[in-house]
Structure 1
């Protein structure tokens, strides 16, 4: 029987360190949203093994090969105890690690518990490691035409907690859909934006992170599952993520994430391999230009000029005009509907008389705050009158 090394060379599946940095992990979304019943090391090892798969040409016998050197490099392990730690990680992955997958079918939900990698083989006299996937996990990894997510292996390697990896995979799934539908169409604008600002209930987040019975104090849950992992994601990946808590009654019901991609850093730490950033930048510029044109045609711009709340220099600033059109003028429309155009003029007269509080650098922000404070008063007055 030929050795592991010979098989690996024949199938050309042993990675080089350079290849590791270029590898992508492609998984079905059902796997992304499944419960990973394992800690960070088996999960990272699984991601590394998946990155070796050619999704269009499934590996023979569901088998891929890694080199120990690359595996240790991926885990950033260099101490003398690395071989025993590797052995311990493999055994833990095979004995404890599995995915709980829940898929919606025609008549309800289907549940699967899958041990992803039941067989690993290596020797103490050469560098290669054989990894064999279970046949049940393969459909979630190959020949994926829709409902799949792709993310960079190099970013997974930088994450050092289970919750960071789980959140990163889930955020990638949503942002991938945002990029896809932004470019290809097929979704309403608000649906596309919802992929960039995905929401998840606390119950679903606990299930996803396998913390249904852990961190019962919400402050601990927030710290362990959100704050620490998101800081790690923000520090080590191309994503910049923030979140807000959504209340239902007196308790926190869900979390809304806000995902953006970082611009290319001065040291080129983050190079976006696709054109997403440039496309997003072009879309934003086009939207800003449209808002500027609308603002120039708006009667509110003329009124602001008449009340000395807007100068000719302000008219040369695209950001000011776009900010007014997007954030302020819709509120003026509300006031106009309640009190007519004269009501808007009266409001601007009052604001103009209080210009000592007004900063030229934040004209749109100042005017937005002024109308936001005034509108509820008008609505209350009308309600009382009725």
Structure 2
């Protein structure tokens, strides 16, 4: 690499990292299709070179990415592009060397051309946004565009971009030796305030109860990221007393071989779990919504991995009728459940212990009963 190519990396500091964070959060209120279009456009920024702000994008790629089919696909693509320009307004605040704030609003993309008989579309970026996008792309958020395009939730896309910003900082600084071990660990296990997480995902006014936020945004997004990327992500709550105030994520990059094995194994387990009679019983009793099979694949896999072996052991000991009765009872008593897999596992374990205790007590009572003499009346 030449010195000129290395120069941008030398300018990176904590202040610049915060600016990139603001840029990522600025996309929070865009629709899923707008987010995907924006990602494709950002990926094409270098395609014409010379710092130009116009990019050409292969329409075939966009049709596939957005699921646009049929004779009206050009018209539908035009609608999606118009929606992007409408949605994409970046509101950011930056601070100078004296900590004086400057509020900035930018419409990153302000024009496009879609000639129906052309294989490409032309998109025009606002010149003001190019320095941020170029720096962001070159140094921190180099993630696989294919991963983003497979995701079906804008929450997952927004969270994935934020996680990748942190992971790329970990990769960069671990090679440059410019950060302590603790700082590197913070990049690999990033924390985010709950209010900032809501801002990142555009949920400031939605899912006020954390359990709903967890189910519809957090768990679902992490499941998508784990399914469609080369990263394994987990999370845990940060508390202040009993109140959830933040979230800490843990990022692990899987090797290609491990990822292939995990994907094959989990896919088999997922299909087996979906077709299990236990899944039918749980859904039939209202413990799970039928759509959970599609919207929360990770939970279904966890049921097959952690709960159903417990159900199999229980059924061997006490029969399917007793197990079905237990599931029906749990459904009536459970109410709102924070971690449904853990709850069901503990419930069946506790019930199994109760039944085994009752069996022992019954054996003990029968053992201590006095024997009733049996007389042979035939012999007088």
TM-score (norm 1): 0.58
Distance, in Å, in 1 between the alignment partners of 2:234 and 2:258 is 23
Cα offset, 1:147, TM superposition: 6.2
Residue among 213, 221, 229 paired with 2:213? 221
Rounded to whole Å, the distance in 2 between the matches of 1:214 and 1:136 is 32
Instruction: Give the Cα separation in 1 of the matches to 2:223 and 2:146.
Output: 17
TM-score (norm 2): 0.59
Q: Report the Cα offset of residue 73 of structure 1.
A: 2.3
Question: Number of residue pairs matched?
Answer: 243
Aligned to 1:65: 56
Counterpart for residue 50 of structure 1: 42
- Residue 246 (structure 1) aligns with: 238
- 1:66-215 to structure 2, matched below 5 A, reads 66-106=57-97, 107-142=99-134, 148-215=140-207
Measure, in 2, the Cα distance between the counterparts of 1:55 and 1:36: 26
Shift of 1:78: 3.3
Higher mean C-alpha deviation, range 138-147 or range 243-252 = 138-147
Ranked by relative contact order (alpha carbons within 8 Å, sequence separation 6 or more), the top structure is 1
- Corresponding residue SS for 1:186: coil
Aligned counterpart, 2:289: none
Return 5+ residue gaps in structure 2 as ranges. Answer: 1-18, 263-380
Note the C-alpha offset of 1:266.
Answer: 6.5
Cα RMSD, aligned residues only: 2.5
**Greater share of helix residues, 1 or 2?**
2
Aligned with 2:127: secondary structure? coil
How far does the alpha carbon of each residue in 1:84-106 deviate from its partner, in whole angstroms, 9 at most, with x for none? 32121111112232222233333
Q: Is the 8 A contact 1:35 1:207 kept in 2?
A: no
Question: What is the CA-CA distance between 1:56 and the residue it aligns to?
Answer: 11
Residues 219 and 245 (structure 1), Cα distance of their counterparts in 2 relative to 1, 3 Å cut: same
Q: In the alignment, is the contact (CA less than 8 A) between 1:101 and 1:112 conserved in 2?
A: yes
CA–CA separation in structure 2 for the residues paired with 1:98 and 1:58 = 25
Alpha-carbon distance, 1:196 to partner: 0.6
- Change beyond 3 A, Cα 1:265–1:78: farther
Deviations 1:338-361 (A, max 9, x none): xxxxxxxxxxxxxxxxxxxxxxxx
Equivalent residues in 2 for 1:254-265, closer than 5 Å: 254-265=246-257
Indicate the residue corresponding to 1:333 in structure 2: none
Q: Judge conservation of contact 1:103–1:111 (CA < 8 Å) in 2.
A: yes
Residues 78 and 114, structure 2, Cα contact 8 Å, conserved in 1: no
Q: 1:264 to 1:237 in 2, by over 3 A?
A: same
What is the Cα deviation at residue 260 of structure 1? 0.3
1:221-370 equivalent positions in 2, closer than 5 A:
221-265=213-257
Kindly tell me: are residues 190 and 224 of structure 1, through their superposed partners in 2, closer, same or farther at Cα, counting changes over 3 Å? same
